[in-house]
Structure 1
Amino acid sequence: MSLSNQTVTSNSAKILIVDDDPSLLRLLGIRLSAAGYDVESAANAKIALGRLQNFIPQVVISDLRMEGMDGMALFEQIRIQHPNIPVVIMTAHGTIPDAINATKQGVFSFLTKPFESQELLDTVEQAIRLQPSQNEKTGETELWRNNIISRSTVMTSLLQQAKQVANSDFSVLIHSQSGTGKELLAKAIHQASNRKNKVFTAINCAAIPEQLLESELFGHIKGAFTGAERNHQGLFQATNGGTLFLDEIGDMPLSFQVKLLRVLQEREVRPVGSTQAVKVDVRIISATHVNLTNAIKANTFREDLYYRLNVVELELPTLAQRREDIPLLVQYFLNQAVARSNVPIKSINQEAMELLISAPWPGNIRQLQNVIEQSIALSSESIISANLVKNALRDDSTQFPSFQQARDHFERDYLSKLLKITAGNVSQAARIAQRNRTEFYKLLNRHHLVAESYREE
């Protein structure tokens, strides 16, 4: 049997084989290695899950019947951690019901032992074609994610998902804490899509007053309201053909959500003051740190808009969940600061690096950048010491806050005091604050305050 075609088409693609039969595991490894694949083997499902911590394959091939965790249980774990990796299940007990059940649950393919080498290689090749770009390590194909500094497996998996959905027009919702780089991920998806030569526009929905948001997104005509001295093209029209990133979508006013939903459904906008609608072709990527499921229950976010925006959801990990990226990010921020501020080249000693790797990072990557820049500014030596890093980590939480941070702190403290005064009575607290219940619930949700906990007190 000739393997030359597979060697060429599958050059260096990674395969993970899982089987508790040592002889079959060895035989499959030989066959796939001869075809040009980079093969890792695991004698059971638990070992396989350990391998997946630092080896991200293009395909997993697993036996169905194994001691302990079986092949379908392993598939469920892989689908949770790496939903884009196709899984091929092998079994000597293959039946039509088994195959139907496995494929219904999302297994890529089902091989009944004994099978021919060519059948195995053809199945693997088909699975790899689902994600062709993952085999390409260099060149322009990787430029789409150049601004995302990472080597962690959790980010590798996320970026594979992002690349996979990039060329579709499905709406993407990015969920993560503040400071994790939501806009960078949105830009990367745009760069990987067929819209990359068109406009990418970002807007923070929480930063624009409600009365201006409609004009900013949909535009307005001259004379539509006081101060509208000329026609204004909104961001939907300005981004036509490109990607519009709606950051902090969870903080969008409820009254405006229905207007956005109509635009997404009809694919047209009507500028404020105009009677004419304008067709738009825009791919929507949105992001939020808010738990939108809870917001829907609190009636502060529309369920129909949620499903329109959340066709594909990507969970961006915190910095604490990707600590292996910290040395890379530190070096990146060091290089950036040196180039921008024209200071002498700086490095960081081992003890300082260990402090950075083990720090809690509630402010995520944005906080790490602040710590590095502060350490550089106060360092009189070429090497940044552990003491400088300790001071920066301690001072980072007490530095003079930005306007937004100060406002958030005031709002959180004010709302907490109201709930204490009213013993968690939301209606009464809303009246004192001179806000309606819906808006008051939205404020509580934004600051993660639960009225019931104050009732217990």
Structure 2
Amino acid sequence: MTDSHAPAAPHLLVVDDDADMLRLLTMRLTAAGYRVTAVASAEAALTQLHIERPQLVLSDVRLPGKDGLALFNEIRAQHPSLPVILLTAHGTIPDAVEATERGVFTYLTKPFDGKGLEGKIAQALSLSAPAHAAQRGSPEAWQHQIISRSSRMAEVLAEARMVAHSDASVLLRGESGTGKELLAQAIHQASARTAKPFIAVNCGAIPEALLESELFGHVKGAFTDAVTNHKGLFQAADGGTLLLDEIGDMPPALQVKLLRVLQERVVRPVGSSQSIPVDVRIISATHRDLDAAMADSEFRADLYYRLNVVTLTLPPLAERREDIPLLANHFLHKLAGKYGKRLSGFAPEALKALNTAAWPGNVRQLFNVVEQVCALSTTPLVPLALVQRALRSPSVQVLSFAEARQRFERDYLVGLLKLTDGNVADAARLADRNRTEFYRLMQKHGLTPGHFKADGAGSLLN
């Protein structure tokens, strides 16, 4: 009985005028699990392409009538994303090499190794697979944001699902850009807390003087400009999950207070004498080596063991290369709407370039590269040259002018308030703006001058 949900076998079009070779290739590839259509000429191949588009074309170079290179040129004109592998005798190697520069996926010389051929076919199919065909069946709802068919990621997700059903604290390790926040969200979605809030805070991105107030809250009058009570993120996440991202950058003074919260399950807002019970599942994440940080007395061992009940490690993108084409196509289709582009995918050689790049910035860098090519592409199929250009340039996030101005404005205000110790009059004078306008700008960006005063900072950290 066949499984109606099993994925269809990939369809290959094989072209060779040697009847024995054609029969041998058909038998071998069928045994390897492919559906094979075999034809003896380029003309027959082009006719077949009009009937049904395969997922890959495997062709001999020497054919009667049009040769394999001419066939490739026509395929490239009509189906630019269709991968082509050429089989060549030694005399036609220079032509085949030239063809790879024009977009042939690869060429193999006769006699070729059968396993090598199957490996190249599998590689070509993985590079050209669309994102929606990435997994056998739709991904489960809890992990729907994680695009992967990597066995390494499958192991991590299996562990994540098991730990999600408990309330154990989880420490996510991995290089920057590997998707730690997405995994934390997936754990939350798979847990009994899914109906309650998921809140993420980057411990390294918030000024030290503000972090305690952001985490635990403050009461009216706790410091200058604390004009109302402020509920902290622990209270906001009550019943749900709190992700403490870049936990390795948390200041030592706050590590002590966080440990107390984890032990006692209560928070005490800055300036308050009352403790408030909280029910929060803690997930922490870091790209730092916390063992080294403990050895250097930069991270408390007792907090580490409290956070590190279960450790999950995300692999870098370079160790899950089978996911690169899936992620690239997923990001491309997602971003095409943002830029108002009709983009159908990447040229085969463009995908090859993505698949062989180093990716020190991991998935985040891949997203930025795809966003750059999406913003600049003028053709439905993203060409190799555009990908090479994006890979050569620093992978900075592509922001709109309004977003970039907003980010600069906030950073500029924070810098002035730090410089002037929270003195609005001095900060406004340095900015060449009147105080009313400066207060309006601070309000726009949610900045409180009291947080930047020396006495305010002291009250936050004592």
TM-score range, shorter chain: 0.5 to 0.7
Distance 2:231 2:240 in 1: 15
1:255 CA displacement: 1.1
Distance 2:306 2:276 in 1: 20
1:159 CA displacement: 0.0
1:398 CA displacement: 8.1
Structure 1 letter corresponding to 2:306:
R
Aligned to 2:316: 318
> Larger RCO: Structure 1 or Structure 2 (Cα < 8 Å, ≥ 6 residues apart)?
2
Aligned to 2:355: 357
Aligned to 1:380: 378
**CA deviation map 1:275-333 (0-9, x unaligned):** 11011100000000000000000000000000000000000111101100011101101
Question: Which one of the candidate residues 296, 303, 306 is aligned to 2:304?
Answer: 306
Aligned to 2:20: none
1:396 CA displacement: 2.6
Aligned to 1:216: 214
**CA deviation map 1:252-286 (0-9, x unaligned):** 00111000000000000011111110111000000
Structure 2 letter corresponding to 1:285:
I
**CA deviation map 1:351-380 (0-9, x unaligned):** 111110110000111111111111122222
Answer yes or no: is the 8 Å Cα contact 1:370–1:396 preserved in 2. Answer: no
Aligned length: 271
Is 1:332–2:339 an aligned residue pair? no
1:209 CA displacement: 1.2
1:228 is paired with a residue whose SS is coil
Structure 2 letter corresponding to 1:340:
K
1:172 CA displacement: 0.2
TM-score under structure 2 normalisation? 0.56
1:346 CA displacement: 3.3
Aligned-pair RMSD on alpha carbons? Answer: 2.4
Aligned to 2:387: 389
Aligned to 1:243: 241
Structure 1 vs Structure 2: percent identity of aligned residues? 58
Distance 2:137 2:397 in 1: 41
Answer yes or no: is the 8 Å Cα contact 1:346–1:376 preserved in 2. Answer: no
1:345 CA displacement: 2.3
Aligned to 2:290: 292
Distance 1:187 1:399 in 2: 22
Inter-CA distance 195–398: structure 2 relative to 1 (3 Å threshold) = closer
Inter-CA distance 398–258: structure 2 relative to 1 (3 Å threshold) = closer
Answer yes or no: is the 8 Å Cα contact 1:179–1:366 preserved in 2. Answer: yes
Distance 1:336 1:230 in 2: 41
Runs of at least 5 residues in structure 1 that lack an aligned partner in the other structure: 1-11, 13-136, 408-457
Answer yes or no: is the 8 Å Cα contact 1:219–1:234 preserved in 2. Answer: yes
Structure 2 letter corresponding to 1:271:
P
Answer yes or no: is the 8 Å Cα contact 1:220–1:271 preserved in 2. Answer: yes
1:382 CA displacement: 1.4
Distance 1:353 1:360 in 2: 14
Aligned to 1:344: 342
Structure 1 letter corresponding to 2:274:
Q
Structure 1 letter corresponding to 2:285:
A
Aligned to 1:177: 175
2:159 is paired with a residue whose SS is helix
1:285 is paired with a residue whose SS is strand
1:156-167 equivalence runs, <5 A: 156-167=154-165
1:8-407 equivalence runs, <5 A: 142-396=140-394
Distance 2:178 2:186 in 1: 14
**CA deviation map 1:104-151 (0-9, x unaligned):** xxxxxxxxxxxxxxxxxxxxxxxxxxxxxxxxx868x91000000000
Aligned to 1:443: none
Distance 2:377 2:347 in 1: 12
TM-score under structure 1 normalisation? 0.57
Answer yes or no: is the 8 Å Cα contact 2:372–2:398 preserved in 1. Answer: no
Distance 2:397 2:371 in 1: 13
